[in-house]
Structure 1
Amino acid sequence: MRDRLNDRQRPGTSSHMMVLYGVGDHGGGPTMEMLHRAEDLARVPAFPVLRYDNPDGALGQMRRSRPDTAFPVWRDELYLEYHRGTFTTQAWMKARLRRSEGLLRTAEALAAFDTAAYPRARLEGAWRRVLFNQFHDILPGSSIRQVYLDAVANCDSAWATVDSVTGAAFAGLRARLDTRPPARRQGIPVVVFNPLPWLRSGYVTVGGRINLGLWVRDVPPLGARVLWVDSERGAAAFDERGSDVSSGLEAPQIGATWMENAFLRIELDTATGAVTRIQDKRAGREVLAPGGRGNVLELFGDRPRSWDAWDIGYTGERWEIDSVVGIRRLLGGGSARMIVTRRFGPSTFQQELVLERSSPYLDVRNRMDWHGRRQLVKVGFALATAPDSLTCEIPYGTIGRAGRPRTQAERAKYEFPCQRWVDVSDSTGGAGFFTDSKYGWDYHGNVLRLSLLRAPIWPDSLADRGVHEFRFAVYPHAGDWRAAETERRAAEYNTPLVSALEQPHPGTLGRSVSFVSVDAPNVELAWVKRAEDSDALVLRLVEWHGRPATATVTLRGRIAAARSANLIEDPGESLPVRGNIVRITLRPYEIATILVDMAR
């Protein structure tokens, strides 16, 4: 109380303060004991006047007490200094939630353009189960073990629903495509769907009566195309013109300590398992610093003074995981692979370094049997490009993180969170790094580290012990992250193409279709769904590069009307429409929602 009274004596401070009260930190309401205590305090003459109010009223009173210029402005993220470990703890949960987000994006996009009734109730049920698992102790990894057993069951239930919705909507899409092979050709039809709103190429795995991996070129934005597998030529496939759809690039090669494709050359120290060279062949650049190494597995002592699952507490202990117990080299199927197995104590760390024929990044596929105790596993890269800060993806935007901290606030961020990617580059080039399920990073000088696994003992004494499978990738590029489209490559890494076999038949959509696309390179159609209260399409657009943009959105079919909306889909102003095109202007990093009524 004395501190609060002293604060009031400082120039520019308000005499009003909003205080939240209730049970715990989970939104619990007040108890009778709390209410009685408030009544008792109101009788104390020296105690500040208490008045019950709602947030709008309380904040309004505070704002009226001082001019706006008197209030300090915090121009940064709200970084919680005792929650550094929550970016990594309970890795299984984080992996399941990342996968859930991708599955729901694909399911809602397919269902939105299906001719069948939109399955709102089923999708809402799946969303509720996924979002319940984003409660503030489940997602960060700070719950007891029983909670995670329940959370896994919730995820499994949500996935079953989403898989059913996706399967039905994709089957409906395939039925509307013309899957008959072109004249004078015979082949098995394969339909590939792209859930992302830009033209895209990539690998798909085709199951069913054939089982093969296939490189697919130019799948339309938020759309699909038909290919045919030539059963007489094995994995060869052709398009509607009868042209081969292989990448046309030279096959990867592999040696005792190296492998390369058309984009990258990778060299490995077989004694330690570390990567000693990542060469960007297109740009003629080295990713690693002279004498530097990448993919270095490190183990750190991690004993927080309190809040074991929440925080990171470095002890000064550090070990390199460099005991290589096996290396295998595989070449074929359009890829070169080195499988490196390392051991440390009771834990085993297997990494499969993969260069696909047409991939511009090194994919690292991990399988780790982890049995540490109060330790933290990281993977590090000593980089040739070392700007003062790197760029991180945060929800629907980006933020810079200092590699050479100058302020107390920057020094406190010795571990920081990112979403799907980070990028370390200057105007001439650098490298992006993306993951399928990891969030904790650190960056000091020219060394970037990704946190992989922790081993706290409270409140779950077995947290993270066991087998984990996850991926991360290194994406060298010329130019900065905007020029390299790092955000798009990371989205592709986390949102796979969808494929399935189909019988030959005619279809009204033809052999290729795009349902919606956006022309501005810095604007992403981040989500598409049907409205909660109507059959209108909901298009969620995001400006990524911090620059104003005017985006042209093109849909398949004539637009009857389009309106801007807020995040809960309340309609706003009408937007200009011409045929199947609607235009919208976005501010830097703006999230914009459009409600679109299609003509019948």
Structure 2
Amino acid sequence: NITVYMCQEHRWHAQLPQILKKMGYNLAILRTHWRFCGWCPELTESIVEWEGPDGTRLAAIPQYVGGNKRFQTTPIGQLHRIIKNQGIKAAVRWWLGTIEEDYKRYNWTKLPAFLWSVTPETGIGHFLPETLMEIKEKGLRGEGEGKYPFRFTFLLAEEIPEVFGKPTSIFRPDPNEFLYLIGWGAWGNDPWSLPREAEISVLTAERVAALNSLLGGDTFEEKLDTAWKALLASQHHDYVTCGRRELAEILSGYSLEVSKNVTKNSLSNLFSRVDARNGDKSVLIFNPLAMERREIVWVDLNFMKGEAYYFSLFDGDVEIPYQVIREERYGDNSIKTSKIVFYCDLPSLGYKVITIKYTEPTIKPVGMDVNVASKKISTKYYDIIFSDDGGILRIFDKILRLDLVRRNGLNGKFRAKVDGEEKISSGEVNFEVVGPLVTIVKEQGSIGSIPYQNRIIIYNDLRRIDFETTFTFNGQRIGEVDVREGATWLDDHKLGVIFQLNTDNVTVYSDRPFLIHKAARYEGIFPWAQTPLEQVAFYGLTWADVSSPQCGLALFNTGTMGYRAHNGSLFMVLAQSGPVPYWGDIRLKGNYTYRYALYPHPGDWMEGDVPKEADRYNFKVLTYVGDPHPGDYPRQLSLLKLIADNILVSAVYTRNGSLFVRMYEYQGRNSSIILTSPDFQFDLERVNLMHEEAKPLTLPIPIEKHEIITLKVSAKFKAKNSSVINRE
């Protein structure tokens, strides 16, 4: 029954009022108690109503103006020295003396009452009660009772509303007022990239398992719960940055392994229940997104000796053209392994079964033209030319009739300060795979003394361009670490990739938790080490975008969330290396691989529908290959389809056997939602984030701007030749 939210590390964001309220909280202590990695907005009021972007209000005790600076103007090291040399009580007295100074300096005197709190990491938190009671009796320095300027008492968090009363003002902080000082790129960015991989895997596994359970299979709830717990623990601050990196990696890896096994078992069970007759092999393709999509599908096929010398693909009676990426044959020329790609129209949050027949293909794939000599690729959307020294020379949009990036710019180039010198990458471009549907370009080069390999995947029918870059580090100092304190937050000189839109007149947006907002450069100075905040990266949870009214560039990430934008250029931080205060000497050695994607698009982020395209990049389609067999369920099935152009589904999962769907509005406008399915009938209830307070719903479902909603779905399969399955 905890109703007051407090936290030590900086994990605040603008959408928390509605999240906390929907979890049963009625008050937040809107403060970051360990401000090494950022802080909350400041306001000198006793108690306020904190209003989120959707209009939800939550009572909050704010961080008073000047309080954030205290973290570094009263350094932890000084407290520790006093504790060591003079004892705990002397340290507490010194600390209370600085509060007295701030009380006068920042005009806290206008507050009828103010709340103060301290993190146990200062070394004094556990000793405050005894020492404070002594000070209450004898004064701060033994001068006698009443010499300390405050009358104070200890409160339980639940007692705060009674003491401070009702809020008298509304606090509407801009999302950019939540400052994030993250050491992007530290440890090769593994603290963020590894959990992101596991997170996407768990979210995907939940969706496959949910459909599996509706068709009579297991929910795998216990295993998924274990995966979530391991993932959350792997991101704990003390695991990530305080000498426990190996444990964090073990936990992330365990979460990933558990969720992959759930996905594998769910797909196997689904395949065993569907109608996969006809042909010589069948492939079940699962789409984890609640939207129909035409997607590139990659499949690895394995054959016995003499089993197949050629094969064709069919969607029902329609043959599908495919491209062979890689193939291995036996001595009798029969196929041993074949990696193929093809495009397929997939149902929303569901599956489709395609057939493999051991017959010669009658349709050849057609698509892009590739001129290896001139390093030019022409797709459905673009003419792309690669530079002789690495990177992309030109991207010309055939539909918009525009050059999207600056010619002879730094597009797809890497930039960094390596061992104290500013460097730009240089590489040699070769064509690894040339084909009509997919072409893979391989670039090898170096940035300073750091060699790299960059695989660039161009699709004929997709606007997106995928990158997979591997650097081989050998202890180089990357960025300004070891040059000045606070350099771990100075992102311009770290190793990163850059792209440059062909205009300076741009707006910059990024996605935050359940919110898309205009990005802004931080301003001011972080007192510790006098760090200039304007050199600190803003963050995009899965993407950042620079765009003009005509066109834009979005850069999708898989954990490399630190971005810098300047005059149409978009720079994404990948790595830093060297000595860092508190964290030690974290030089990189060995191979580190980064995956990201460039998405050129028409218009701004909204016209280009960047959020949904980012989801398509992160939530890949899944495949399962097996032998043909009869089954009770159809060859194509969709659990649900969302009819709304401004809504994203963020989670589909089961809890105690019941199905839940969570979604949010991302364009900042009121609208309505229709959930439909060709294969299931629904009864819907709206619940809070704790799955409580159920209220029946009818379609269409109203949704406010920036609102997050959770639905409990009772789904009945529209049985055709099978028995009716009715599951909540």
Give 2:117's aligned amino acid.
L
Give 1:539's aligned amino acid.
V
Quick one: distance in 2 between partners of 1:341 and 1:90? 20
Residues 487 and 298 of structure 1, relative CA distance in 2, 3 Å threshold: same
Secondary structure of 1:233 counterpart: coil
Secondary structure of 2:606 counterpart: helix
Residues 110 and 225 of structure 1, relative CA distance in 2, 3 Å threshold: same
Residue 385 (structure 1) shift? 3.4
Aligned twin of 1:308: none
Quick one: distance in 2 between partners of 1:345 and 1:586? 52
| 1:354 alignment partner, one of 439, 457, 460 | 457
Contact 1:260-1:355 within 8 A present in 2 as well? no
- Once the two structures are superposed, the pairs formed by residues 506-585 of structure 1 within 5 Å of their partners are 506-531=630-655, 534-555=656-677, 556-559=679-682, 561-576=683-698, 582-585=699-702
Give 1:470's aligned amino acid.
Y
Aligned twin of 1:214: 341
Give 1:42's aligned amino acid.
K
Contact 2:191-2:235 within 8 A present in 1 as well? no
Secondary structure of 1:461 counterpart: strand
Residue 219 (structure 1) shift? 1.0
Aligned twin of 1:469: 593
Contact 1:536-1:597 within 8 A present in 2 as well? yes
Aligned twin of 1:426: 548
Aligned twin of 1:260: 378
Quick one: distance in 2 between partners of 1:291 and 1:216? 33
> Is residue 2:131 matched to residue 1:34?
no
Write the deviation string for residues 293-346 of structure 1: whole angstroms up to 9, x where unpaired.
3122111269xxxxxxxxxxxx8x522223x3x432234353223322112454
Quick one: distance in 2 between partners of 1:291 and 1:163? 43
Contact 1:329-1:337 within 8 A present in 2 as well? yes
Write the deviation string for residues 452-479 of structure 1: whole angstroms up to 9, x where unpaired.
1110324242454321112222211112
Give 2:572's aligned amino acid.
L
- Once the two structures are superposed, the pairs formed by residues 231-270 of structure 1 within 5 Å of their partners are 231-233=358-360, 249-250=367-368, 252-270=370-388
| 1:205 alignment partner, one of 278, 287, 299 | 299
> Is residue 2:422 matched to residue 1:321?
no
Larger radius of gyration: 2
Give 1:433's aligned amino acid.
L
RMSD: 2.8
Quick one: distance in 2 between partners of 1:570 and 1:432? 38
Q: Which moved more, 1:96-105 or 1:211-220?
A: 211-220
Quick one: distance in 2 between partners of 1:290 and 1:475? 17
Q: Which moved more, 1:53-62 or 1:381-390?
A: 53-62
Give 2:442's aligned amino acid.
I
Aligned twin of 1:395: 513
Quick one: distance in 1 between partners of 2:542 and 2:410? 23
Secondary structure of 1:104 counterpart: helix
Write the deviation string for residues 201-253 of structure 1: whole angstroms up to 9, x where unpaired.
2222234435322223211111000112343336x8xxxxxxx7x87534555
Secondary structure of 1:490 counterpart: helix
Quick one: distance in 2 between partners of 1:77 and 1:100? 28
Quick one: distance in 2 between partners of 1:289 and 1:119? 50
Aligned twin of 1:579: none
Write the deviation string for residues 120-170 of structure 1: whole angstroms up to 9, x where unpaired.
22111111101101213445xx332xx121222222322222122111111
> Is residue 2:269 matched to residue 1:167?
no
Q: Which moved more, 1:519-528 or 1:283-292?
A: 283-292
Residues 543 and 9 of structure 1, relative CA distance in 2, 3 Å threshold: closer
Contact 1:179-1:507 within 8 A present in 2 as well? yes
Give 1:58's aligned amino acid.
I
Quick one: distance in 1 between partners of 2:372 and 2:598? 18
Give 1:297's aligned amino acid.
F
Aligned twin of 1:193: 286
Q: Which TM-score applies when normalising by structure 2?
A: 0.70
Q: Which TM-score applies when normalising by structure 1?
A: 0.84
Give 1:380's aligned amino acid.
I
Aligned twin of 1:305: none
| 1:74 alignment partner, one of 147, 169, 173 | 173
Residues 9 and 395 of structure 1, relative CA distance in 2, 3 Å threshold: closer
Secondary structure of 2:414 counterpart: strand
Give 1:216's aligned amino acid.
Y
Residues 132 and 565 of structure 1, relative CA distance in 2, 3 Å threshold: same
Residue 498 (structure 1) shift? 0.5
Contact 2:507-2:548 within 8 A present in 1 as well? no
Give 1:384's aligned amino acid.
N
Secondary structure of 1:289 counterpart: coil
Give 2:457's aligned amino acid.
V
Residues 100 and 380 of structure 1, relative CA distance in 2, 3 Å threshold: same
Quick one: distance in 2 between partners of 1:61 and 1:74? 24
Quick one: distance in 2 between partners of 1:96 and 1:438? 10
Residue 111 (structure 1) shift? 1.1
Contact 2:198-2:253 within 8 A present in 1 as well? no
Aligned twin of 2:434: 332
Write the deviation string for residues 508-538 of structure 1: whole angstroms up to 9, x where unpaired.
221100011110011122111112xx32211
Structure 1, unaligned runs of 5 or more: 237-243, 303-314, 577-581
Residue 188 (structure 1) shift? 2.3
Give 1:401's aligned amino acid.
A
Residue 485 (structure 1) shift? 1.6
| 1:121 alignment partner, one of 209, 215, 222 | 222
Quick one: distance in 2 between partners of 1:565 and 1:252? 53
> Is residue 2:513 matched to residue 1:386?
no
Give 1:160's aligned amino acid.
E
Q: Which moved more, 1:223-232 or 1:519-528?
A: 223-232
Contact 2:416-2:478 within 8 A present in 1 as well? no
Residues 367 and 327 of structure 1, relative CA distance in 2, 3 Å threshold: same
Q: Which moved more, 1:205-214 or 1:360-369?
A: 205-214
Quick one: distance in 1 between partners of 2:106 and 2:496? 46
User: Which has the higher relative contact order, 1 or 2, with Cα contacts under 8 A spaced 6 or more apart?
Assistant: 1
Quick one: distance in 2 between partners of 1:497 and 1:150? 30
Secondary structure of 2:121 counterpart: coil
Residue 406 (structure 1) shift? 8.6
Quick one: distance in 1 between partners of 2:621 and 2:671? 28
Write the deviation string for residues 61-95 of structure 1: whole angstroms up to 9, x where unpaired.
3354x7326xx5422334436x2424655422322
Write the deviation string for residues 384-417 of structure 1: whole angstroms up to 9, x where unpaired.
13345311011222121247x8988996364111
Contact 1:258-1:265 within 8 A present in 2 as well? yes
Report % sequence identity: 18
Aligned twin of 2:402: 285
Aligned twin of 2:356: 229
Quick one: distance in 2 between partners of 1:53 and 1:110? 47
Contact 1:8-1:15 within 8 A present in 2 as well? no
Residue 585 (structure 1) shift? 1.5
Residue 261 (structure 1) shift? 1.8
Quick one: distance in 2 between partners of 1:398 and 1:169? 33
Residue 275 (structure 1) shift? 1.9
| 1:131 alignment partner, one of 227, 232, 238 | 232
| 2:242 alignment partner, one of 137, 140, 143 | 143
Quick one: distance in 2 between partners of 1:437 and 1:332? 30
Residues 150 and 10 of structure 1, relative CA distance in 2, 3 Å threshold: closer
Give 2:440's aligned amino acid.
R
Give 1:557's aligned amino acid.
F
Contact 1:251-1:357 within 8 A present in 2 as well? no
Give 2:153's aligned amino acid.
R
Residues 520 and 408 of structure 1, relative CA distance in 2, 3 Å threshold: farther
| 2:413 alignment partner, one of 266, 291, 296 | 296
Residues 165 and 54 of structure 1, relative CA distance in 2, 3 Å threshold: same
